[in-house]
Amino acid sequence: MTVVRDRMWIWTHAAGSYNGMYGLTGVSRMTPVESACYLDVPNACMIVFGDNPQAPFDPYAIAFRPLQQVAWSILGDSSSARNDYQSDLDEVIALASKYPNITGAVMDDFFCVPEEQGALGRADVAVLEEYRRKLHAATPPLDLWTVIYSRDLAQPIAEYLDPCDILTLWHWETDDLANLDTNMARLEAIAPNKRTLLGCYMWDFHHQRPMPIATMEHQCTTGLRWLREGRIEGMIFVSSSIADLELEAVEWTRHWLHQVGGLPLTA
């Protein structure tokens, strides 16, 4: 029987990636897999942040073996300058051949391109189609994931989403979480019938302040409703780099996951 926990993910980086950033205090030492265990979720996205880590990724991948599924970035966050010129696609395909629980390849911050570059995404559609071709031909086959922020929904992004297997919807501007249902409907209209996960921030990175518990609860209860309605296939919590900082929203989420994780996926 599939339970709610099976569809839960944590967004992870190398330990300490956010230290001294985003208004956070304290020093995080928690590793990606430790954070998955702490929240009791079986799946993780491992994302290059600030060009860290560098390939080869095997020393990191070994620790992920106990998890059910892992999606590894081929385009790291927008501060990962190397991915502005080349992806980590080949490295991730090679990694997945040795670690079969790696099931996806993630493009983070895909539409976060400086205006002076005159491009909508970090790769054009032809490149995305080649990414998908290589990923689907890999052994085992891998899904192509992309990050979409709610602000991206106003842009002509449909052709960029077409080659992608899995979409992840994020609300960087915390005030926009009041529009969760509206934004989900907008994404469904732009890219119908796409497998989608909801990204849930546990810290207000935009305003560099704690995430209000009421807002955290709104994200979680809405995501659970969509999951049970079949509108999404999972939820992702951000991130490993704040999980050990004794943040109220993290601890609330941890308690909530404990409450709902064992429930049947269908209500």
Report pLDDT digits (tens) over 227-248: 999 999 999 999 999 999 999 9
Report pLDDT digits (tens) over 41-82: 999 999 999 999 999 999 999 999 999 999 999 999 999 999
pLDDT of residue 117: 78
User: What DSSP letter does each residue of the chain carry, written as one string?
Assistant: --BGGGGEEEEE-STTTTTT-TT--S-----HHHHHHHHT-SEEEE--BTTBSPSP-HHHHGGGTTSSEEEEEEE--TT-GGGGT--SHHHHHHHHHH-TTEEEEEETTTT---GGG--SSSS-HHHHHHHHHHHHHSSS--EEEEEEEGGGGGS--HHHHTT-SEEEEE-SSGGGGGGHHHHHHHHHHHSTT-EEEEEEESEETTTTEEPPHHHHHHHHHHHHHHHHHTS-SEEEEE-GGGTTS--HHHHHHHHHHHHHTTSBS--
Predicted model pTM: 0.97
Residues of the chain predicted below pLDDT 50: none
Spell out the domains of the chain, with CATH numbers in brackets: 4-260 (3.20.20.80)
